[in-house]
Each structure stands twice: as structure tokens, then as C-alpha cells.
Amino acid sequence: MIYQGSCHCGKVAYEVEGTIDTALACNCSMCQRKGSLLWFVPRAQFRLRTPEDAAATYTFNKHIIKHRFCPTCGIHPYAEGVDPKGNPMAAINLRCIDGIDLAALPVHEFNGRDA
């Protein structure tokens, strides 16, 4: 299935293909503050519908995850990084996907604070 998502103002918009069957809640200093529910997909399944430079980038700690956010409305719709095998991945903020029932998804808690 193809899902559409965006920041609040729409200046950062994307589509992503896959099956959403679970969400991840991370307690690292960044995710805890954002309140994101994440869904991880191979980067090839994620396509921006707006220019790449519409999103700003924030990195911290080990600087391996690019937290992407809209400089206009401040929403963090996705992040980019690599999996343990080095494959490019996208971390989609499910709260930014249109028309899904978040309450119906099982949420896996991840201890990113100690990772």
C-alpha cells in the first residue's frame, strides 16, 4: 500500500510504500520530546513529493541519523539512516501519515536512551 504523509504546513510531503503492522516508540532524548511513533522502511520505498531542501536536518550524539523537519512548522515527519547491515532506511513518523488508525497498531517500546 502507498501512504501519503507530510508536516503540518505541507511544505515537506512524501509517499511511502509498505505495510504498517507495528509502531516503535523510542525514549531517546530526541524521540521522547517529539512523541514520534516510528515505522522503518527501506529508503527506496520512501519518495519525497517536495524538494529535498524543503526539509532541514538535525543530528546529535553519534550523528548517524538525519532527523528531518520542516523549518516553517517545526514538525518532524521522517528521519534517514542505515540499518545494522548498512542499508539505507527511512524512519517514518506515523503521526504524519494521513488516514491511519494509530490506536489499532501495536506499539513496541525501544530503549534508545541506553542504546
pLDDT in tens, 26-40: 998 888 898 999 999
**67 neighbors 57 (Cβ within 8 angstroms):** yes
Q: Which of 37, 8, 44 is nearest to 21 (CA)?
A: 37
Which domain covers residue 75, as residue numbers?
A: 2-114
CATH code of the domain containing 93: 2.170.150.70
Count Cβ atoms below 10 Å from residue 49 Cβ, excluding itself: 13
Output the pTM of the full model: 0.92
State pLDDT tens for residues 58-109: 998 888 899 999 999 999 999 999 999 999 999 999 999 999 999 999 999 9
CA distance 71 to 54: 8
- List, in order, residues 6 or more apart from 38 with CB less than 8 Å away: 23, 24, 25, 26, 31, 79, 91, 92, 93, 94
